Amino acid sequence: MNTSRYLLAFLLSGLLGHADAASWVAGLHHMTLDDPVDARPMQALAFYPSNGTPRAIRIDGYPIEVAEEAPVALGQFPLLVLSHGNAGSPLALHYLATALARRGFVVVAVVHPGDNARDHSRLGTLSNLYGRPLQVSEAITATREDTLLGPYLNDGKVGVIGYSAGGETALILSGAQPDLERLRRYCLERPTDADACKTHGVLIADRSELQPKADARVGAVMLMAPLSLMFGRHALAGVKVPALIYSGDSDQLVAVDRNAEQLAQKLPIAPDYRLLAGAGHFVFMARCDQQQWLRMPALCKDAEGVDRRHIHHSLQRDTANFFTQTLGAPEPAERSAATAAARQ
């Protein structure tokens, strides 16, 4: 991004934060795509700025307030794609997706086939490691071609948000090359790491023809508690995009010392790295209502002194600012002409 465009994005960011963020609501568009791994149907949820009327609904146990299939607000908006964690759901990050939509971003959240809350069939396989980035790339293409969303996307780079294993996915998309030997050595050293070492450090070669594939359309990544132990300095050499990284120093699932901390030290472009005191792995998931506390208390409870609400407010604000500065600001219709003139 050149200097004048960066300054323009920064100024518009301030204006958007005080005006349009409050005037838009989050729309929700249900999408069905083709999984590039096996051509079977793949689901995605798209959150976007809208002027429709929101209503409270519950999807897969998560309460959200959205305007389903409402018209998109007039303007040109940056595209972000969200990749959830192993055996997870993108709806666990609905607070972030809807907040970004209200601030003028289109956020498409893929439900990774074979690696989601309902289907674990690809866990520990090469088709999952290398298929996830292909699925995100397919979501980028499909969203640009979507009749509802496509006309309102700007033509700039795309941002990727990755949580946990989604961080691994985001890094591959931005040019990282996984080193499978690092995983094997790690699991010999720490065999009790049940999350990373389900297959004892050796991934099942179910689709040996698949390879890690970067996507040149990706221009920035935001990572939360990233699983990144397969990437040493050499494996990260191809990552030339800015990164914002959040991690908790009490992560009980992903070892911070071998993941986020080493990643922050080895990325070619020094990231903005935020280490949250006392926070665990699940602090990045949406706050739980009474039903969720009864169903999954371990994912809802934080350590004493950790304020999940406050952390989420900071995440929403800082993520919007980060992507505004790296990808360009959302442009409501009334500002499009002024922006075009400023760029000339």
CA 210, chain centre distance (Å): 23
Where do the structural domains in the chain lie, given as residue ranges? 24-318
Radius of gyration in angstroms for the set of CA atoms belonging to the chain, rounded to a whole number: 19
Quote the pLDDT of residue 335.
62
Residues 6+ apart with CB under 8 A from 337: none
CA dihedral over 295, 135, 272, 15, signed as positive or negative:
negative
Quote the pLDDT of residue 336.
54
Structural contact between residues 109 and 189, judged by C-beta atoms closer than 8 angstroms? no
Quote the pLDDT of residue 198.
86
Is 183 strand, coil or helix? helix
For the chain, the distance separating the N- and C-terminal CA atoms, rounded to the nearest angstrom, is 14
Helix residue ranges per DSSP H, 72-118: 94-102
> What length does the chain have?
344
- What is the mean pLDDT for each group of 10 consecutive residues in the chain (344 residues)? 44 43 85 97 98 96 96 97 97 98 98 97 96 98 98 98 98 98 95 88 94 98 98 97 98 96 98 98 96 93 97 98 97 66 50
Burial class (CB in 10 A: 0-12, 13-18, 19+), 275: middle
CA distance linking residue 259 with residue 276, whole number of Å: 15
Question: Against a cut of 0.85, is the pTM above it?
Answer: yes
Quote the pLDDT of residue 2.
44
Burial class (CB in 10 A: 0-12, 13-18, 19+), 58: exposed
Fold of 24-318: Rossmann fold (3.40.50)
Quote the pLDDT of residue 24.
96
Assigned token pair, 252: 């009980």
Quote the pLDDT of residue 195.
82
